[in-house]
């Protein structure tokens, strides 16, 4: 199994530009999570999906952030327009549904907004 | 609501020393408990878990026991190695769902 796949691994962009992060979950997993990790705020859950439907987006910072999951094998997190404070490592994770099932994390995308 | 409290880091130990990283929690309902580990430059990966009171999770020499009476899930290892240097996260989930509540993470540094 290839695990959770994220692309790109690194992204450097200028303030105001649109950024799209991509995630391919593990085949057969029905839950997908987007996290953001920074030194200041630690690990934050942004949004999660069950069966491609957004269940909880209370962690999405503001309207500049949006996430989609058009099918069971693909999700995107978009930031438009990007700002320097969005610089962070963004992780995608997937799991089987239900309590007790572990989340499998991707390697992350390191985003730098200048 | 749910919350997880971990001891502040960094924790610096010599190789072969005994490790304890404290974790306590508050939860509505009956949680499942997890320890995740993050090695430098990588995503988190599950280290061990326990799903009911008095269960002991174990993996790679690490252990943690689900203590309902003290609402704790402390991580222990009898003899750490340099390769154990990483950030360790305690986490829980309740309500039959799979949304994890994480602690802030504890950085462990093991020196020769």
Cα torsion at A37, B89, B41, B61 (round to 10°)? -170
Per-residue pLDDT, A99:
65
Q: Which of A23, A27, A31 is nearest to A74 (CA)?
A: A23
Distance from CA of B19 to the nearest CA of A (A): 23
| Structure-token match 């280290």, residue found | B47
Phi and psi torsions of A5, nearest 5°: -110, 130
CB contacts of B43 in chain A (<8 Å) are 4, 91, 93, 105-108
Distance from CA of A73 to the nearest CA of B (A): 19
Percent of chain A past pLDDT 70, that is, above it, reads 96
Q: In what order do the strands lie in the sheet with A5-7?
A: A5-7, A19-24, A74-79, A65-71
Distance from CA of A8 to the nearest CA of B (A): 14
A21 touches chain B (CB under 8 A): no
pLDDT classification of A1: cutoffs 50, 70, 90: low
B32 touches chain A (CB under 8 A): yes
Q: In whole angstroms, give the CA distance from residue A17 to residue B104.
A: 31
Q: Which of B91, B86, B95, B85 is nearest to B104 (CA)?
A: B91
The tens place of each residue's pLDDT in chain B, 112 residues long, gives: 889 999 888 999 999 999 999 999 999 888 999 999 999 989 999 999 999 999 999 999 999 999 999 999 999 999 999 999 999 999 998 876 778 899 999 999 999 9
Q: Which of A110, A113, A79, A109 is nearest to A92 (CA)?
A: A109
Q: How far is CA A18 from the centre of its chain?
A: 15
Sequence-separated (6 or more) residues with CB below 8 Å from residue A63: none
Token representation of residue B90? 């305690």
Token representation of residue A30? 């029905």
């Amino acid at each position: 199994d290839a695990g959770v796949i994220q692309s790109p691994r690194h992204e450097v962009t200028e303030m105001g530009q649109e950024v799209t992060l991509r995630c391919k979950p593990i085949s057969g997993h029905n839950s997908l999570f987007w996290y953001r990790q920074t030194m200041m705020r630690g690990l934050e859950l942004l949004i999660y999906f069950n069966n491609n439907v957004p269940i909880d987006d209370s962690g999405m910072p503001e309207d500049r952030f949006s996430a989609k999951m058009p099918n069971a094998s693909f999700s995107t997190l978009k930031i438009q327009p990007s700002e320097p404070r969005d610089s962070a490592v963004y992780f995608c994770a997937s799991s089987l549904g239900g309590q007790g099932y572990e989340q499998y994390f991707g390697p992350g995308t390191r985003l730098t907004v200048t | 609501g749910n919350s997880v409290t971990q001891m502040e880091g960094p924790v610096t130990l010599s190789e072969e020393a005994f490790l304890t990283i404290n974790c306590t929690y508050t939860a509505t309902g009956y949680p499942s408990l997890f320890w995740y580990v993050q090695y430098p430059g990588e995503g988190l990966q599950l280290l061990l878990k326990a799903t009911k009171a008095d269960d002991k999770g174990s993996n790679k020499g690490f252990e943690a026991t689900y203590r309902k009476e003290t609402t704790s899930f402390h991580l222990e290892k009898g003899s750490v190695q340099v390769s154990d240097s990483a950030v360790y996260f305690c986490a829980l989930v309740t309500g039959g769902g799979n949304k994890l509540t994480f602690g802030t993470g504890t950085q462990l540094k093991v020196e020769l």
